[in-house]
Structure 1
Amino acid sequence: MTKNTILLFKFSIFFFLISCNSDNKITETYFGGKIINPKSNQVVLYSMEKVIDTFFLDSNNRFIGKIKNANEGLYHFSHGDENQYVYIEPKDSLMLRLNTWDFDESLVFAGKGAERNNILIDCFLENENDRKLFYHFNKLNPQGFTNKVDSLLAVKMITYHEYVQNHPNETLGYREILKTALTYPIYARSERYPYINTKYTEDGNFPELNKTFYNYRKNIVINKDSLMYFPPYSSYIRNYLYNKTYSLGHPPTKKEYSSKFTIDLLKIIDKNITIEQTKNAILRQTIISHFFNKSSCNIDGEAFNTFYTLSTNKKDKELITRLLNDVKSVPTHKKLPNFKITNYNNTSHDIFDVIKNKSTFLFFWSSEYVSKAYIGKRMSYLANNYPNINFIQVKIDGNTKDRIQKIDIKNQYYLNSDSKAHQFLSSKMPRSILVNKQGKVINAYATISSRNLNPYLKELNEN
């Protein structure tokens, strides 16, 4: 199962001495490595949402950092637009090597703490491969699905027990993380099965499940604070909450979530998630994602009021209020308000001089909410499929260094601090505005990731 760690890379003698020094008086933990084809000059290490340290690459694209009094547990590091999880114990000397062109597949660890992290990466990669299996499993009847899942879980547990047997000194904390990494992606897909299966049935209804289908839930703790930021666990929790909401009698969702479904989901979150910080985060993510999925200016007032009632986070409520005010600031079927955008030669232009009576898709973005890599891939796809639309990308609070690679720089702009566009972008959240040849808005709050955007694009492309 674990990667071939013979692929250990060349570290300096300094790194070697760190790994070999077992003096009990040393309380430092070391984290370092080499980045091939770096996307930035730094690696940032986090514990949950908290930044632990920022490590800068040297002239050889290496970095090394020392963490004092490190707590055992799950961390994650980011570089450029990518991130991955690591499990760190005190006195580890964990060194990584990766190529950003193939981030996860190329990632390998060496040094003290390497084995436990290499198998976690293997779990992540196998989970990606398992997606293909579930494409077929989801078409089966409930018993057939359960049989396949049980067989797959048995294989995962063999891997777990073999690793624990060969590494008897691993802590209970790490064992829990390893078991979660191996099994929870399967549990998460089991929660999604009833909904996905409806796409392959003639009547489109949920399958009838026997009483034992969810037996695995007996072994799951819903409110595990230390795991809430671990994707296998958080993905399971999200799927579990949606499944519980569907079980109230809601039909399978076709295009967008109904107002009643969103309200019931928010209440299910409030009832089942007892960790206040986590509850607030999921409430915020849910109300925003459901609004974005609509890809229109239609505001579900009752759902937003439910969010305001259940959330106890003042900043989240302020963010949502700014979002709603932004929506109302650009009316549909009215002429787009004028504002200035700046190109990467640092020259400002009125927006109507840029769109020049063309059907235009304006995408305003912030790196806080969406990565450059995703924008580049998604916008290139949309531009190829809708050739009669002028696609313009505008960075909120940008500068001359914020361009997106692989997209024509002539279609990229940013906003200076005095641009009037900030009046309808106060939340800083991604926003797309579709404008016809007459300069009128046909959709004032679209989302590039939503399938519900397609009818608007088709209309704009044909007119």
Structure 2
Amino acid sequence: MNALNHIFALFVATIVLVSCQSDTTTADGSAYFGGEVVNPKSKFVILSKGETILDTLTLDENNRFLYKIDRVERGLYTFRLWASEGLEYQMVLLEPQDSLLFRLNTLEFDESLVYTGRGAKKNNYLINLFLDGEKEDKTILGYSQLPPKEFERRLDSIRDYKLNQLKAFNDKNPSTATFLNLVKGNINYDYYLSKEVYPFVNYSKSERANFESLPPDFYNYRKDINYNYCELMDYFPYYSFLKHHFENIALLEHFKKSDDTVFNIKSLNYNLIKLNLIDSLVVSDSLKNSLLAQTAIEFISHSKNINEYDQILNSYTAKTNNKKNTRYVTNMVNALKNLKPGSPLPAISIIDYNNNELALNNVINKPTVIYFWSSVYRSHNDSHRKAQELKIKYPEINFIAINASSKDYANWKQLISQYSYAKNDEFIFKNPELAKQKLAISPINKVMIVDKNGKIVNAHTNMFSILFEEELLGLLNQ
């Protein structure tokens, strides 16, 4: 997957899962699903359908497995396994009587994935569509700098080409309605997504000016949007479309009520509008809960105005019926209230490379940047490289890394050696879940800055922000 999408998708998946309950799904037969993993990083493959983990499958001595799904429901399934860049996943379409095998190399997860057996042609089509889409993203980003009409013309040609390819494939390989609806939905909602994000990624004007310059029929497809597209519910492109669609229509509503000219994700009014729109338009409880939680978490993660958190929390809790997500968001708000500038770090136990248990406060002896990582996310190498660059530029500041999710001490040490990270600067939490809650570690790549006394300077910043070095200079000038 695209690295940023991969990070975000996994982040969201840890707390907001989507599931589609539909009378159109069938359970009229069994299916087999198996595969071979080259260069496995673990002996397990996790197979899921929506919110439900069906099984954790063990690889045999040849790094293969085969699993029978009784009374299979037509639709998308997810399989996950550890690869060279962390925990990877892909979607697979399974229908009754399928007997599908995959082969992949963990060193090149998506690029090496290939299917054989009954059901292989449709799934190879899907993985190629996915890989082509990753390449197209850069092309479409370039097109997004064009005037609206020219952008639309080029985008139309891409969609027409894909639909013609699908017709040629179906003429040669007559396919099920499930497959055709899935691919058509993917093509159309990818197209819609590109048009939804156009005003945000066209850099010639402000977002307000970009909206005002759009042709009157630019968003005509919106009358055809299905906010409960069951066959696409578990598919990331559909979810991504809905996320950006609600950003778009919420911003338009916000502009009507304010003098703002640019998109500000920290705007309270904008986020309250977005929550209301999601609540009023999305049919599926599961999908609605996911989008609501994501909106609340994004605002809380970006905004430094603690006084506005309760308004978002109250709006969110009034609209969701997911108790687990509600607890998560509520705990996050309460934790951030306790992490105000000038407050001491909470009491957290960490473990160093030599298996010594320490208090986090006790390793702070000069101005310090604390950054978090997990092998589940591909960003950990980027974070460590950035920290190393900054460490050289700012020797007066200490940089320490904490693996925020590992519970396996031996595996964590192996990762430190594998990536040649500085052992003296690496730690894990004794109790990861408690620590993540107390420190409001969401998203995983957030960063904290503390002074030499362990007092919080900024509990929620980002090493990759263009303003981060200004924060470091301010820290040194205190």
TM above 0.5? yes
The structural deviation recorded for 1:138 is 0.9
Does the 8 A contact of 1:386 with 1:458 survive in 2? no
In the TM superposition, 1:161-240 aligns within 5 A as 161-168=167-174, 170-197=175-202, 199-201=203-205, 205-207=209-211, 208-240=213-245
In structure 2, the residue matched to 1:85 is 91
Structure 2 counterpart of 1:147, one-letter code: R
Q: Secondary structure, in 3 states, of the residue corresponding to 1:300?
A: helix
Looking at structure 2, the residues matched to 242 and 39 of structure 1 have their Cα atoms a distance apart, in angstroms, of 38
Deviates more, 1:73-82 or 1:246-255: 246-255
The structural deviation recorded for 1:426 is 7.8
Structure 2 counterpart of 1:74, one-letter code: L
**Structure 2 spans left out of the alignment, 5+ residues:** 1-27
State the TM-score, normalized to the length of structure 2.
0.82
In structure 2, the residue matched to 1:324 is 333
The structural deviation recorded for 1:450 is 6.5
**Structure 1 spans left out of the alignment, 5+ residues:** 1-25
Looking at structure 2, the residues matched to 295 and 106 of structure 1 have their Cα atoms a distance apart, in angstroms, of 43
The structural deviation recorded for 1:303 is 2.0
Looking at structure 1, the residues matched to 477 and 297 of structure 2 have their Cα atoms a distance apart, in angstroms, of 30
In the TM superposition, 1:114-193 aligns within 5 A as 114-168=120-174, 170-193=175-198
In structure 2, the residue matched to 1:360 is 368
State the TM-score, normalized to the length of structure 1.
0.84
Q: Output one character per residue of 1:373-410: Cα deviation in whole Å (capped at 9) or x when no partner.
A: 32233332243245334132143573413524523333
Q: Secondary structure, in 3 states, of the residue corresponding to 1:393?
A: strand
Structure 2 counterpart of 1:324, one-letter code: V
* Residue 428 (structure 2) pairs with residue 414 (structure 1): yes
- Shift in CA distance, 175/129, structure 1 to aligned 2, threshold 3 Å: same
In structure 2, the residue matched to 1:8 is none
* Residue 274 (structure 2) pairs with residue 265 (structure 1): yes
Does the 8 A contact of 2:182 with 2:231 survive in 1? no
In structure 1, the residue matched to 2:298 is 289
In structure 1, the residue matched to 2:438 is 424
The structural deviation recorded for 1:461 is 7.0
* Residue 62 (structure 2) pairs with residue 60 (structure 1): yes
Q: Output one character per residue of 1:350-369: Cα deviation in whole Å (capped at 9) or x when no partner.
A: 33442332x2222356x6xx
Q: Secondary structure, in 3 states, of the residue corresponding to 1:443?
A: strand
State how many pairs are aligned: 432
The structural deviation recorded for 1:204 is 6.9
The structural deviation recorded for 1:446 is 3.4
Q: Secondary structure, in 3 states, of the residue corresponding to 2:410?
A: coil
Q: Output one character per residue of 1:293-339: Cα deviation in whole Å (capped at 9) or x when no partner.
A: 33676643322221122222222222222112211233312343554
* Residue 322 (structure 2) pairs with residue 313 (structure 1): yes
* Residue 381 (structure 2) pairs with residue 384 (structure 1): no
In structure 2, the residue matched to 1:4 is none
Does the 8 A contact of 2:207 with 2:263 survive in 1? no
- Shift in CA distance, 354/428, structure 1 to aligned 2, threshold 3 Å: same
Looking at structure 1, the residues matched to 402 and 96 of structure 2 have their Cα atoms a distance apart, in angstroms, of 45
Looking at structure 1, the residues matched to 281 and 304 of structure 2 have their Cα atoms a distance apart, in angstroms, of 29
Looking at structure 2, the residues matched to 230 and 35 of structure 1 have their Cα atoms a distance apart, in angstroms, of 23
Aligned residue among 30, 35, 59 for 1:33: 35
Structure 1 counterpart of 2:389, one-letter code: N
Q: Secondary structure, in 3 states, of the residue corresponding to 1:69?
A: coil
Does the 8 A contact of 1:256 with 1:293 survive in 2? yes
- Shift in CA distance, 220/350, structure 1 to aligned 2, threshold 3 Å: closer
Looking at structure 1, the residues matched to 426 and 57 of structure 2 have their Cα atoms a distance apart, in angstroms, of 31
Q: Output one character per residue of 1:393-447: Cα deviation in whole Å (capped at 9) or x when no partner.
A: 1435734135245233332222224999578248887464211234321012335
Structure 2 counterpart of 1:73, one-letter code: G
Looking at structure 2, the residues matched to 352 and 337 of structure 1 have their Cα atoms a distance apart, in angstroms, of 8
Q: Secondary structure, in 3 states, of the residue corresponding to 1:401?
A: helix
Q: Secondary structure, in 3 states, of the residue corresponding to 1:373?
A: coil
Q: Output one character per residue of 1:221-242: Cα deviation in whole Å (capped at 9) or x when no partner.
A: 1221332220121111111111
Structure 2 counterpart of 1:363, one-letter code: Y
In structure 2, the residue matched to 1:16 is none
In structure 2, the residue matched to 1:343 is 352
Deviates more, 1:371-380 or 1:111-120: 371-380
Q: Secondary structure, in 3 states, of the residue corresponding to 1:331?
A: coil
In structure 2, the residue matched to 1:105 is 111
Deviates more, 1:54-63 or 1:346-355: 346-355
Looking at structure 2, the residues matched to 312 and 291 of structure 1 have their Cα atoms a distance apart, in angstroms, of 19
Looking at structure 1, the residues matched to 65 and 156 of structure 2 have their Cα atoms a distance apart, in angstroms, of 43
Structure 1 counterpart of 2:127, one-letter code: I
* Residue 458 (structure 2) pairs with residue 443 (structure 1): yes
Q: Output one character per residue of 1:57-114: Cα deviation in whole Å (capped at 9) or x when no partner.
A: 1222222212112121111111121101110111211111111111111111111111
Looking at structure 1, the residues matched to 339 and 40 of structure 2 have their Cα atoms a distance apart, in angstroms, of 40
The structural deviation recorded for 1:454 is 5.9
Does the 8 A contact of 2:404 with 2:432 survive in 1? no
Q: Output one character per residue of 1:195-217: Cα deviation in whole Å (capped at 9) or x when no partner.
A: 222x2238972242222212333
In structure 2, the residue matched to 1:44 is 46
In structure 2, the residue matched to 1:303 is 312
Looking at structure 1, the residues matched to 463 and 47 of structure 2 have their Cα atoms a distance apart, in angstroms, of 30
In structure 2, the residue matched to 1:400 is 409
Q: Secondary structure, in 3 states, of the residue corresponding to 1:356?
A: coil
Structure 2 counterpart of 1:262, one-letter code: N
* Residue 72 (structure 2) pairs with residue 70 (structure 1): yes
Report percent identity of matched pairs.
Answer: 29
Structure 2 counterpart of 1:283, one-letter code: L
Does the 8 A contact of 2:404 with 2:436 survive in 1? no
- Shift in CA distance, 166/206, structure 1 to aligned 2, threshold 3 Å: same
Looking at structure 2, the residues matched to 380 and 143 of structure 1 have their Cα atoms a distance apart, in angstroms, of 42
Does the 8 A contact of 1:332 with 1:443 survive in 2? yes
The structural deviation recorded for 1:28 is 3.7
Looking at structure 1, the residues matched to 433 and 208 of structure 2 have their Cα atoms a distance apart, in angstroms, of 49
- Shift in CA distance, 299/386, structure 1 to aligned 2, threshold 3 Å: farther
Q: Secondary structure, in 3 states, of the residue corresponding to 2:145?
A: coil
